[in-house]
Amino acid sequence: MIDQTIVDEVVATALREDAPWGDVTSEYLIPVDATAVATLRARESGVFAGAAAFEAAFTLTDPRVLVEFEIREGARFAAGDVLARVSGPARGILTGERIGLNFAQRMSGIATLTSEFVELIAGTTAVIADTRKTTPGLRAFERHAVVCGGGRNHRFSLSDAVMAKDNHLAVLTAGGKDLTTELARVRAELPHTMKLEVEVDRLEQIEPVLAAGVDIIMLDNFSPADLATGVALVAGRAIVEASGGVNRETVRAIAETGVDVISIGALTHSARALDLGLDVDITAGN
């Protein structure tokens, strides 16, 4: 679950962006005492995510608005299904509508895309994971959506784990320094609670990296054949992560090589927002 404090902070920022000096359309057109009931309905099938953000868009606008969900996060829905009902002051519902929909559509799109990849590798031992290729400021939301779709989360930030990629290794071994020696030094200096992951892009890099005692080795842009060879070389001495070149057509073959994790940046940077609609029925005030 996303921390509610984070949800409220991000959604409040979005609301201020959308109505910095108020919603002038609603204020001029809608009576102050008008009430409304709105229905969040799916216009296509998918997997639901974003309940907390959707609700906050209305309750932060007007605490008197009530949001009731007809579906739990992570559940599948079909076109035409009712996902939630919103009731209360009409102005509050109309002002929060766009922001609530934006979050629910975006997060449900990520959850749906993730679920597609998870289904494609069903029966293998691999898991689908996200990356740090997220929308700035929305990482917690997008990572939550990945979990709703059946995926796993990678490190949340640069502060969570040591992950040495090609550019790091180039600097680390500058001047002819030995890769294994330098990585072993890093491993020895890290607290026991912190993981060390190293990215390699050639089979011959695997043994020098493993000799340093790394926890995770990422095989980047390897062909399925080389991935299978890499998994055999690692032989259980570290978690094996595959990354690069992953799409709907290749993910099954990648999973069948025996890798433990398949990380996919597209889950968050290329997911399409789902088509969800909020149908509002305005009723006259007293």
Q: What is the pLDDT of residues 56-87, one digit of tens each?
A: 999 999 999 999 999 999 999 999 999 999 99
Q: Is there a single domain that holds both residue 265 and residue 277? A: no
Active site residue: 165, 187, 237, 252, which one?
165
195 catalytic per annotation: no
| pTM of the predicted structure, to 2 decimals | 0.95
List the catalytic residue out of 18, 81, 132, 133: 133
Give CA–CA dist 106/141, Å, rounded. Answer: 9
* Residue 199 near residue 220 (C-beta atoms within 8 A): yes
Catalytic residue status for 165? yes
Q: Is 226 a catalytic residue?
A: no
pLDDT tens, per residue, the chain with 286 residues: 789 999 999 999 999 999 999 999 999 999 999 999 999 999 999 999 999 999 999 999 999 999 999 999 999 999 999 999 999 999 999 999 999 999 999 999 999 999 999 999 999 999 999 999 999 999 999 999 999 999 999 999 999 999 999 999 989 888 889 999 999 999 999 999 999 999 999 999 999 999 999 999 999 999 999 999 999 999 999 999 999 999 999 999 999 999 999 999 999 999 999 999 999 976 655 4
Same structural domain for residues 126 and 106?
no
Among candidate residues 112, 118, 21, 99, the one with its CA nearest the CA of residue 60: 99
The reply to whether 172 and 82 lie within a common domain is: no
CB-CB contact of 238 with 210 (8 Å): yes
The CA distance from 148 to 54, in Å, is 15
User: Does 145 share its domain with 77?
Assistant: no
The crossing angle, in degrees rounded to 10, of helices 4-18 and 139-148 is: 120
Please check whether residues 74 and 129 belong to one and the same domain: no
74 shares a domain with 130: no
Q: Are residues 105 and 152 in the same domain?
A: no
Looking at the structure, tell me whether residues 39 and 56 fall in a common domain.
Answer: yes
Clarify whether 201 is annotated catalytic: no
* Cα 42 from Cα 19, distance rounded (Å): 26
**Shared domain check, 101 and 226:** no
Task: Point out which residues pair with 37 in neighbouring strands.
Answer: 87, 281
119 a catalytic residue: no
Number of compact structural domains in the chain: 2
Which residue among 8, 85, 98, 256 is the active-site one?
98
Beta bridge partners of 86: 38, 67
